[in-house]
Amino acid sequence: MSNEINRIGINTGSVNPYGNQPKGNEAKTEENKAETPKATPQNPQVAPNDVLSYMAQQAVVVNPKVSTPKTYDVSKYVTPEQAQRIAGFVTSFEDKVAEGLLAIDAELGANNRIPDATKYEIAAKMVK
């Protein structure tokens, strides 16, 4: 007999469609079920507040010491014309973000409760 069905190679010798189980395992599984005692739930050994305080202490992020900012010699990397053009783009971007912040404040009013960082992010995304 061939192992090809409609030219698809299938190993039918390892397929058991009827799910016949060996008869010896049935008795063993029933014995194992009867022998295993049911576990009783343990009482909590640690107070939940202690666990939460431990987790909070582990989550503390230690900020690295801030070093003095490095200054770069731009003339090594770009020509003076390129530096001037880049500076123009940056100031143009900053001006458009400032206009966006003014538009957000005008739209939402002076008593809005949006954090400044969120306002800056929205204004920066408005720039095209």
110 is a domain residue: yes
pLDDT at 99: 94
The residue type at 95: D
111 is a domain residue: yes
- Residues in the chain predicted with pLDDT less than 50, given as ranges, are none
12 is a domain residue: no
pLDDT at 13: 61
31 is a domain residue: no
pLDDT at 94: 94
C-alpha torsion sign, points 17, 19, 20, 24: positive
pLDDT at 89: 94
| Domain with 94 in it | 76-126
4-43: string of b/e by CB count within 10 Å (b at 16+)? eeeeeeeeeeeeeeeeeeeeeeeeeeeeeeeeeeeeeeee
62 is a domain residue: no
82 is a domain residue: yes
Q: What is the CA radius of gyration of the chain?
A: 35
d(CA 120, CA 128): 15
16 is a domain residue: no
pLDDT at 86: 93
Number of independent structural domains in the chain: 1
22 is a domain residue: no
pLDDT at 37: 64
